[in-house]
Amino acid sequence: MKLQTQNKVDPAFSMASMTDLIFLLLIFFMLTSSFVTTSGIPVNLPTSKPNIIQIQKVSVTITKDLQFLVNEKKVTKATLEAELKSKLVGPKGVVLLSIDESVPTRELVFVAGIATSLKANVSIATKPK
């Protein structure tokens, strides 16, 4: 009497899932690695002093009683433009506006207009929630 088993184990191993993992890892490493292209011709480059780029940051604060402060120095609204012009030398300046939430929007627009006319970037300070 010959007995046969109901469950036969297939000896073949499927590599499909393994190749998917390899391709995913390959794509991951290709995207995260930095590619450096070098010139094929060796050239002796000249030396120079490194350029240090300094971004000028000027803080303008407007309190709830409409007092203007430039870098913690109290100024009037009439002298604000002259003060910003003296602090921002060159086109790469940033004006950081710290304005009380009860201040009218026209004051924000006034200061931002002055900063934009001086070719400075305007950034508004907020507090995180």
Question: pLDDT tens string for the chain (129 positions)?
Answer: 666 767 777 777 777 788 888 999 999 888 887 666 555 656 666 677 776 666 678 888 888 888 888 888 899 888 888 888 888 876 678 888 888 888 888 988 998 898 888 888 888 888 777
Residue 8: both structure tokens together: 């036969």
**Has this prediction a pTM greater than 0.85?**
no
Q: How far is CA 63 from CA 57, 66, 102, 116, 123, in A?
A: 19, 5, 9, 21, 17
Residue 33: both structure tokens together: 């690695």
Distance between CA atoms of residues 113 and 101, nearest Å:
19
CATH of domain 56-124: 3.30.420
**What is the amino acid identity at position 96?**
L
